[in-house]
Chains A and B, each alone.
Chain A
Amino acid sequence: MTDKFDKTPPGSPAGQVSVSKAATTAPENIKAIPVRHVGRWISGIVVIGLLAALVYAFSQGNIQWQAVGDKLFDSNVVAGAGRTLLISVLAMVLGVILGVVLAVMRLSKNPVTSWVAWLYIWFFRGTPVYVQLLLWFNLALIFPVLNIPFIYKDEMTDVMTPFMCALLGLALNEAAYMAEICRAGIQSVDEGQTEASHALGMTQGKTMRRVVLPQALRVIIPPTGNEFINMLKTSSLVYAVTYNELLRSTSQIGSTSYAVMEMLFVASIWYIVMTSVFSVGQYYLERRYARGSLRSLPLTPLQRIKVNLASFSNRPSGGVSA
């Protein structure tokens, strides 16, 4: 979007006049001896020393660094990372959809739906996700058979595969948190927006879809990105329901090859890489939804590099003319 506001021409006529006048009688710059920050130097040296000690300790420990490198791209490890990604993405998508529904229910004027949403959030936020996963895993103890009349009937143990346990456990827990995030986002949109939309003849549903939610997204997206990064890591808990995700597949290799610590490092590297990649994606998503809320969008890192390069190549010519 080009706009006229952030492009004040650097050499506007008025500016040039005053600059050239000032240039003829430019005062000499102050030359002073800078303050010496002794404290900064000392604290810097201490911190670097401690870091070096830590690195040294790791290098001397009984860790086969060779094994970390060897197993990093082991097919079981890569498959485990893939399953971690799959379960996290699916659980997040389901959690967001259910979260939006719960948020709208929570804000509805119907006291029953509002209360049910409150109850859901109260339960799923109030109990550990680990406990919830185990509850799904053992669901067959309460409902031995899943029976949806005329549509579906099966043994619960056949339905509740490790994958289903993991997905339901993570998604339903996430929905409770997403509901609160969405509620905050919806409530952050100015009431005047709803009024303006109603005054134009838009129904409540249209107002929500076309006016309120798009603006709420700007508030919802940053914490949702946070939630997703959390989800990538929380998904390691589905170890408990025997779903073969990253942590489980690395640990299995670790326990058979006696390289426990090494395989935990391998898992950590994968987790860090995945969360880092998604942090970058989040930056661009937030930028997309900042449209209209800022006069001009901040530059992306790529654009910033381009601008820097351009200014670098322009500088000599500018210097010559000055």
Chain B
Amino acid sequence: MTTPMVKAEGVHKSFGAAHILKGIDLEVAPREVFCLIGPSGSGKSTFLRCINHLEQINAGRLSVDGQLVGYRQKGDKLYELKDSEVALQRRDIGMVFQRFNLFPHMTALENVMEAPIQVKGEAKAVARARAEKLLDRVGLADKAKNYPTQLSGGQQQRVAIARALAMEPKLMLFDEPTSALDPELVGDVLDVMRGLAEDGMTMIVVTHEMGFAREVGDALVFMDDGVVVESGHPRDVLTNPQHDRTKSFLSKVL
């Protein structure tokens, strides 16, 4: 029995009076491509953001690779982690955002080089060599010197993926990575993600791309109103949903 990459037990999250996550239980195995689907407002993005502590959970336990996220447990007491300790945990978790969030004042290459140099204290030459290799991998070797505003949405998102990969994470989180893209640019980004999956990267993907989920996903969870409604293999859930809520959602998006 290997340690799950991500393990959630009864995770709750509220923003003020709004109760967003109402007890999430799930496990993500290493090397698994785990897809989260559901209507907007169902809490899937919030859950993803809890995994790297961009949001703090209110109840339950959430751990990555056997380590509690954002806390340290001693006996039966929980201690909040310091800013620098949280940063240390986040090193190993890459994240790709819906709106890319590339650093606009840096070129594509500098974007990819930034974190290894600043966080790991890597030598510039080493970081540059890896960044060039990663940009080549996402098919953008010739755009290294361009600033984000000079790139299309799809190109920006692929740079963002390269930037996350530069930290050599053990887990990648994708928050609707293709939702802000023109339809014809979606394919390039999905191709890069497919390649990552083939290389054995553990990935949690919040997505509306059912085709990708069916083809690449190893597990799929349908969330609605802060709870997991249905989970299983993507093929089964997408073609033969058991719950009425899942059926009505899929009938609208497929």
Chain A contacts to B: CB under 8 angstroms = 1, 3-5, 190, 192-193, 195-204, 206, 210-211, 214-215, 291-295
Q: Which A-B residue pairs are the 6 nearest by beta carbons?
A: A201-B91, A196-B101, A200-B115, A199-B95, A192-B101, A292-B147
Number of A-B residue pairs with CB-CB distance less than 8 Å in the complex they form: 79
Chain B min CB distance to A190 (Å)? 8
- Contact in complex: A292, B87 (CB < 8 Å): no
- Contact in complex: A295, B119 (CB < 8 Å): no
**Beyond A195-B97, A292-B149, A295-B150, is A200–B163 a contact (Cβ under 8 Å)?**
yes
Q: Which of B90, B105, B118, B146 contacts A198 (CB 8 A)?
A: B90
B249: A residues at CB distance < 8 A: none
In angstroms, Cα B40 to Cα A212, docked, is 30
A206: B residues at CB distance < 8 A: 118-119
Residue of B nearest to A204 (CB): B83
Chain A min CB distance to B49 (Å)? 8
Residue of A nearest to B145 (CB): A1
Chain B min CB distance to A11 (Å)? 23
- Contact in complex: B54, A195 (CB < 8 Å): yes
- The 24 listed contacts between A and B (C-beta, < 8 Å) are A3-B150, A190-B101, A193-B101, A195-B54, A196-B97, A196-B103, A196-B160, A198-B54, A198-B90, A199-B54, A199-B94, A200-B115, A200-B164, A200-B167, A201-B91, A201-B115, A202-B87, A202-B119, A214-B105, A215-B103, A215-B104, A292-B147, A293-B149, A295-B149
Considering only residues 84-116 of chain B, those with a C-beta below 8 Å from chain A are 84, 87-88, 90-91, 93-95, 97, 99, 101-106, 114-115
Chain B min CB distance to A224 (Å)? 17
B147: A residues at CB distance < 8 A: 1, 291-292
- Contact in complex: B118, A202 (CB < 8 Å): yes
Indicate whether B148 reaches chain A with its CB closer than 8 angstroms.
yes
Q: Which of B149, B150, B167 contacts A201 (CB 8 A)?
A: B167
- Contact in complex: B54, A211 (CB < 8 Å): no
B104: A residues at CB distance < 8 A: 215, 292-293
- Contact in complex: B149, A294 (CB < 8 Å): yes
Indicate whether B178 reaches chain A with its CB closer than 8 angstroms.
no
Q: Which of A3, A193, A197, A202 contacts B146 (CB 8 A)?
A: A3
- Contact in complex: A210, B93 (CB < 8 Å): no
In angstroms, Cα B146 to Cα A294, docked, is 12
B164: A residues at CB distance < 8 A: 199-200
Indicate whether B207 reaches chain A with its CB closer than 8 angstroms.
no
- Contact in complex: B101, A291 (CB < 8 Å): no
In angstroms, Cα B83 to Cα A197, docked, is 13
- Contact in complex: A192, B163 (CB < 8 Å): no
B118: A residues at CB distance < 8 A: 202, 206, 210
**Beyond A1-B145, A5-B150, A210-B114, is A200–B101 a contact (Cβ under 8 Å)?**
no
In angstroms, Cα B88 to Cα A210, docked, is 18
Indicate whether B52 reaches chain A with its CB closer than 8 angstroms.
yes
In angstroms, Cα B91 to Cα A211, docked, is 17
| Given A196-B97, A196-B102, A292-B106, 5 more pairs with CB closer than 8 A | A196-B160, A199-B93, A200-B114, A200-B163, A204-B83
In angstroms, Cα B104 to Cα A214, docked, is 10
**Beyond A1-B147, A294-B149, is A202–B105 a contact (Cβ under 8 Å)?**
no
In angstroms, Cα B104 to Cα A190, docked, is 11
- Contact in complex: B101, A203 (CB < 8 Å): no
Considering only residues 34-91 of chain B, those with a C-beta below 8 Å from chain A are 52, 54, 83-84, 87-88, 90-91
Residue of B nearest to A201 (CB): B91
The listed residue with most B CB atoms (<10 A of its CB), out of A192, A196, A198, A291, is A196
In angstroms, Cα B147 to Cα A129, docked, is 43
Chain B min CB distance to A287 (Å)? 14
Chain A min CB distance to B112 (Å)? 10
- Contact in complex: B105, A292 (CB < 8 Å): yes
Chain B min CB distance to A216 (Å)? 10
B146: A residues at CB distance < 8 A: 3
B102: A residues at CB distance < 8 A: 196
Residue of B nearest to A5 (CB): B150
- Contact in complex: A201, B88 (CB < 8 Å): yes
Chain A min CB distance to B54 (Å)? 6
Chain A min CB distance to B74 (Å)? 23
Chain B min CB distance to A300 (Å)? 19
B115: A residues at CB distance < 8 A: 200-202
A211: B residues at CB distance < 8 A: 103
Chain B min CB distance to A166 (Å)? 36
In angstroms, Cα B87 to Cα A198, docked, is 7
In angstroms, Cα B151 to Cα A295, docked, is 9
Residue of A nearest to B116 (CB): A200
In angstroms, Cα B170 to Cα A201, docked, is 13
Chain B min CB distance to A214 (Å)? 5
In angstroms, Cα B149 to Cα A260, docked, is 56
- Contact in complex: B52, A199 (CB < 8 Å): yes
In angstroms, Cα B90 to Cα A65, docked, is 71
B54: A residues at CB distance < 8 A: 195, 198-199
Residue of A nearest to B173 (CB): A199
In angstroms, Cα B103 to Cα A211, docked, is 7
Chain A min CB distance to B140 (Å)? 13
In angstroms, Cα B129 to Cα A252, docked, is 66
In angstroms, Cα B84 to Cα A127, docked, is 41
Considering only residues 171-222 of chain B, those with a C-beta below 8 Å from chain A are none
